[in-house]
Structure 1
């Protein structure tokens, strides 16, 4: 089965979320789609602080944006 490419903003949010939920720095933000990536990073950091790390954080990400 072929996979469709997700739009770039959804991908930027997802990558930012993954960095945030893992507790890594926002300094890893790429120049492209900065606002969208930072939005994902902020949500990921909030989930990290709430204890949603690892699989539980990624599961929440997919239910919100998947």
Structure 2
């Protein structure tokens, strides 16, 4: 049985979350020209920043 690929928006969110956890700037978003993907990436980045600020990750 084939594995289903993850949604591309979910992947963008996950990449943004990982970037945020590593302390990267939101200006490093690879989706500068693609608004839909950029908003998901930034959403993940913001979630990571919030998690870092609440002490869930260091």
The TM-score with structure 2 as length reference comes to: 0.77
CA positional deviation for 1:4: 2.0
For 2:19 and 2:57, locate their aligned partners in 1 and report how far apart those are by CA, in whole Å.
11
Aligned residues: 54
Aligned pair 1:26/2:30, yes or no?
no
- Among 26, 43, 53, the alignment partner of 1:39 is 43
- Of 36, 52, 57 in structure 2, the residue corresponding to residue 53 of structure 1 is 57
> Structure 2 CA distance, aligned partners of 1:5 and 1:27?
27
Moved more, 42-51 or 23-32: 23-32
| Counterparts of 1:51 and 1:2, CA distance in 2 | 38
Structure with max Cα Rg = 2
Q: Provide the alpha-carbon RMSD of the alignment.
A: 1.7
Match of 1:16 in 2: 16
Greater relative contact order structure (CA < 8 Å, 6+ sep): 2
